[in-house]
């Protein structure tokens, strides 16, 4: 029978529309303005007492609180407006210690029954949602110093293996290492070894103060430039990996100048953790515990992370660092205590094996390194200025006895909690920073600017949508109303698909939605005009409807496929706003084909299918049949 779908196809359309409605529905529940209180470090938890103090302070400051709640290791205070949110942050921060971070957030208000089926609103880009903008600077001098220390350690190991006796080997300035020898022959042997295996250095033979023979190693300028470039590119890669681990949609991580990196995180829900994860170097050093008779000049003393009262002396020489880590996963040991299972690179595994095979029964320390920046207001020359102080903290998280020679796989124990183990594993898995980075600028892009963009964008979509609905209703009568229903379904399915796929809606993405509305209605116009042509040629109404849809099918598919290919190329080659536009356009093309070819025909079949028609309300005077 003409213009009748089988039951399965009708059910497919109905189920698709119902699912689309459910997953588009969360977008009707706007997020609440909120401030989030989190610990500055992963081990710090927010108590109910701390939350009550914050709510009380907001009440005294005449900031209306919508609701407050404790979450996992943090607290959330929901507010009525963006103005209240901006006013609340400094009030809460002022009453809390430096152990806590107060961040601006947008808290979801989707009902629990929708969340239970995995439904949630679309993610909004930085231009719509607001978010966090970080500007970080790579500490290039520390990058050079770290590489110099690593090269110095390798050279000293090679000298010992060649049985070349030396003294010293400490860094002298920012670019130099000086080795001392008792006689000239040993210095010449060391000179030959370094010149053969380490072309990074310029070498200079000289005499020391005690008439010793010295070999000065100076990093070549080309090597310094290479270290700086490597540090910046490695940190860029690591930051991108860390952002991916955070699950932030459509982030921006890009280089700015020779030593700075810009990071933009749209719509982040935990800016405190984002700053922790992005800023923490989270580097590790593996060193052997120093023997009791070791000279002070060859050792360093560090406290344990869980108790600063406990300390241990370790050798200055580093076995491997976190840069050698290729994988890290949290887990539990046989006593159900948190641990991190680590896998090193092949080179790192070789160095670990060489260092531990002759150190059975000795203890090896795992040293955790944190770089921190503190700012405070000070009066300098009669003016109040912001003074920045940078510090480097070393702490021992594990000091275990070596039972047998270690290789590329081993584990770190002695962690305080599973959250600490998870965060450490995340940082190491995402990659170690080649050099510490410091926050130069942190700016929260408030929702007020985003709301203006959203309002303007939504107005353009609504206006374009309304004009199309009016046009179709006026020119195509009943069929125009069918097209309007299909167009509404298309917009609903587009929003649902973007929500399900966690695609990010940006301002250019809204432009893509407007374009999709035009593409969708264009297909219907093509179908309806084809039906009118068939009717005018004398074809019966039912046959004309069937022919209109079937004969326009190829043209519609061809036109949409070519547009889809362009959208895919834009997504693959573009970035930022271009990619946001391409995502929306790709999804919109697919949903418009579904609604134009299946949904609209399903509605037409329901209205006209299997009936004897005397006239057709599709614009113009079409009464024969």
Does this model's pTM top 0.75?
no
The candidate with the shortest Cα–Cα distance to 348, out of 340, 339, 356, is 356
The per-residue pLDDT for 246 is: 59
Please check the confidence at residue 24 and state whether its pLDDT lies above 80. yes
| Residues 39 and 11 placed together within one structural domain of the fold | no
Does residue 453 lie within any of the structural domains?
A: yes
- How far apart are the C-alpha atoms of 344 and 510, rounded to whole Å? 46
pLDDT tens-digit readout, 473-491: 888 888 889 999 999 999 9
Higher pLDDT, 336 or 424: 336
The candidate with the shortest Cα–Cα distance to 88, out of 58, 109, 53, is 58
The per-residue pLDDT for 284 is: 75
| Residues 153 and 285 placed together within one structural domain of the fold | no
The rounded percent of the chain whose pLDDT value lies above 90 is 13
| Cβ atoms of residues 484 and 473 within 8 Å | yes
Higher pLDDT, 280 or 333: 333
| Cβ atoms of residues 288 and 365 within 8 Å | yes
| Residues 390 and 497 placed together within one structural domain of the fold | no
Looking at residues 414-438, what average pLDDT do you find? 71
Does residue 432 lie within any of the structural domains?
A: no
Does residue 309 lie within any of the structural domains?
A: yes
The per-residue pLDDT for 144 is: 87
The rounded percent of the chain whose pLDDT value lies above 70 is 85
| Residues 83 and 192 placed together within one structural domain of the fold | no
Higher pLDDT, 466 or 323: 466
Name the least confident of 94-103, 120-129, 241-250, 319-328.
241-250
- How far apart are the C-alpha atoms of 173 and 178, rounded to whole Å? 10
Does residue 84 lie within any of the structural domains?
A: yes
Q: CA 475 → CA 127, 221, 483, 537, distances in Å?
A: 38, 74, 11, 20
Q: How confident is the model at residue 58 (pLDDT cuts 50, 70, 90)?
A: very high
Calculate the dihedral angle through the C-alpha atoms of 290, 291, 297, 302, rounding to the nearest 10 degrees. Answer: 30
Q: How many residues does the chain have?
A: 625
| Residues 490 and 410 placed together within one structural domain of the fold | no
| Residues 400 and 309 placed together within one structural domain of the fold | yes
Q: How confident is the model at residue 378 (pLDDT cuts 50, 70, 90)?
A: low
**Number of compact structural domains in the chain:** 4
| Residues 183 and 56 placed together within one structural domain of the fold | no
pLDDT tens-digit readout, 156-181: 888 888 888 887 766 776 688 888 88
Does residue 624 lie within any of the structural domains?
A: no
Q: CA 490 → CA 169, 303, 552, 587, distances in Å?
A: 71, 62, 19, 10
3-state secondary structure of 96: coil
The per-residue pLDDT for 399 is: 84
Does residue 74 lie within any of the structural domains?
A: yes
| Residues 601 and 453 placed together within one structural domain of the fold | yes
- How far apart are the C-alpha atoms of 162 and 155, rounded to whole Å? 11
| Residues 204 and 309 placed together within one structural domain of the fold | no
Q: Is 73 left (phi over 0), alpha (psi -120 to 50) or beta?
A: left
Residue 145's CATH number:
3.30.70
Strands (E), 448-587: 504-505
- Helix (H), strand (E) at residue 126: helix 126-129
Residue 597 DSSP code: I
Higher pLDDT, 335 or 53: 53
| Arithmetic mean of pLDDT over the chain | 82
Looking at residues 409-438, what average pLDDT do you find? 72
Please check the confidence at residue 247 and state whether its pLDDT lies above 60. no
| Residues 350 and 412 placed together within one structural domain of the fold | yes
Q: How confident is the model at residue 493 (pLDDT cuts 50, 70, 90)?
A: very high
HSE (CB half, 13 Å, CA atoms) of 348? Answer: 19
Q: Which domain holds residue 61?
A: 32-107
Residue 47's CATH number:
3.30.70.260
Does residue 174 lie within any of the structural domains?
A: yes
Q: Which of 65, 87, 107 is the last residue of a domain?
A: 107
| Residues 499 and 578 placed together within one structural domain of the fold | yes
The per-residue pLDDT for 332 is: 84
Q: How confident is the model at residue 366 (pLDDT cuts 50, 70, 90)?
A: confident
Please check the confidence at residue 343 and state whether its pLDDT lies above 80. yes
Does residue 544 lie within any of the structural domains?
A: yes
The per-residue pLDDT for 484 is: 92
Residue 478's CATH number:
1.20.1640.10
Residue 299's CATH number:
3.30.1360
| Residues 70 and 186 placed together within one structural domain of the fold | no
Q: Which of 201, 223, 245 is the last residue of a domain?
A: 223
Please check the confidence at residue 573 and state whether its pLDDT lies above 70. yes
| Cβ atoms of residues 369 and 457 within 8 Å | no
pLDDT tens-digit readout, 506-557: 778 888 888 888 788 888 888 988 888 888 888 888 888 888 888 888 888 8
Pairing of strands 213-219, 100-107: unpaired
């Amino acid at each position: 029978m003409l213009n009748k779908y089988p039951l399965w196809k009708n059910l497919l359309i109905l189920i698709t529309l119902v699912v689309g409605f459910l997953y588009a529905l969360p977008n009707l529940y706007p997020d609440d303005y909120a401030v989030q209180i989190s610990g500055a470090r992963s081990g710090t938890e927010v108590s109910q007492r701390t939350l009550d103090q914050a709510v009380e302070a907001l009440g005294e400051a005449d900031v209306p609180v919508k609701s407050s709640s404790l979450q996992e290791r943090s607290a959330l205070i929901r507010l009525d407006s963006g103005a209240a949110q901006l006013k609340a942050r400094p009030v809460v921060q002022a009453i809390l210690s430096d152990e806590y971070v107060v961040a601006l957030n947008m808290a979801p208000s989707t009902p629990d029954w929708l969340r239970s089926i995995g439904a949630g609103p679309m993610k909004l880009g930085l231009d719509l949602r607001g978010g966090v903008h970080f500007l970080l600077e790579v500490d290039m001098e520390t990058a050079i110093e770290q590489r110099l220390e690593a090269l110095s350690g390798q050279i000293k190991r090679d000298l010992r293996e060649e049985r070349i006796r030396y003294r010293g080997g400490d860094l002298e300035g920012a670019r130099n290492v000086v080795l001392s020898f008792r006689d000239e022959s040993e210095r010449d042997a060391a000179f030959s070894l370094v010149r053969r295996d380490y072309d990074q250095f310029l070498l200079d033979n000289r005499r020391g103060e005690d008439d010793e023979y010295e070999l000065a190693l100076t990093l070549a300028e080309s090597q310094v430039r290479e270290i700086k470039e490597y540090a910046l590119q490695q940190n860029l890669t690591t930051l991108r990996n860390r952002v991916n681990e955070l699950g932030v949609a459509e982030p921006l991580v890009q280089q700015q100048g020779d030593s700075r990196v810009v990071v933009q995180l749209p719509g982040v829900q935990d800016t405190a953790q984002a700053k922790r994860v992005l800023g923490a170097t989270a580097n590790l050093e593996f060193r052997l515990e120093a023997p009791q008779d070791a000279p002070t000049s060859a050792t360093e003393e560090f406290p344990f992370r869980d108790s600063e009262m406990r300390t241990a002396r370790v050798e200055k020489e580093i076995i491997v660092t976190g840069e050698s880590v290729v994988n890290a996963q949290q887990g539990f040991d046989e006593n159900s205590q948190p641990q991190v299972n680590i896998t090193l690179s092949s080179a790192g595994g070789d160095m670990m094996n060489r260092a531990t095979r002759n150190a059975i029964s000795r203890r090896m320390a795992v040293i955790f390194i944190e770089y921190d920046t503190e700012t405070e207001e000070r009066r300098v020359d009669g003016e109040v200025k912001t003074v920045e102080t940078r510090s480097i903290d070393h702490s021992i998280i594990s000091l275990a006895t070596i039972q047998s020679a270690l290789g590329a796989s081993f584990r770190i124990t002695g962690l305080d909690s599973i959250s600490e183990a998870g965060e450490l594993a995340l940082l190491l898995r995402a990659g170690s920073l080649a050099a510490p980075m410091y926050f130069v600028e942190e700016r929260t892009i408030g929702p007020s600017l985003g709301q203006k963009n959203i309002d303007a964008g939504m107005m353009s979509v609504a206006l374009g949508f309304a004009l199309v609905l009016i046009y179709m209703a006026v020119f195509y009568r009943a069929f125009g109303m069918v097209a309007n229903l299909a167009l509404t379904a298309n917009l609903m399915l587009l929003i649902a698909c973007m929500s399900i796929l966690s695609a990010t809606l940006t301002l250019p993405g809204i432009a893509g939605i407007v374009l999709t509305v035009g593409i969708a209605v264009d297909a219907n116009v093509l179908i309806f005009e084809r039906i009118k042509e068939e009717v005018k040629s004398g074809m019966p109404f039912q046959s004309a409807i069937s022919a209109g849809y079937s004969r326009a099918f190829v043209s519609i598919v061809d036109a949409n496929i070519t547009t889809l290919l362009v959208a895919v190329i834009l997504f693959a080659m573009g970035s930022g706003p271009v990619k946001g536009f391409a995502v929306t356009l790709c999804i919109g093309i697919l949903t418009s084909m579904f609604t134009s070819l299946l949904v609209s025909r399903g509605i037409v079949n329901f209205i006209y299918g299997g009936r004897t028609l005397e006239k057709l309300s599709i614009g113009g005077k079409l009464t024969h049949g």
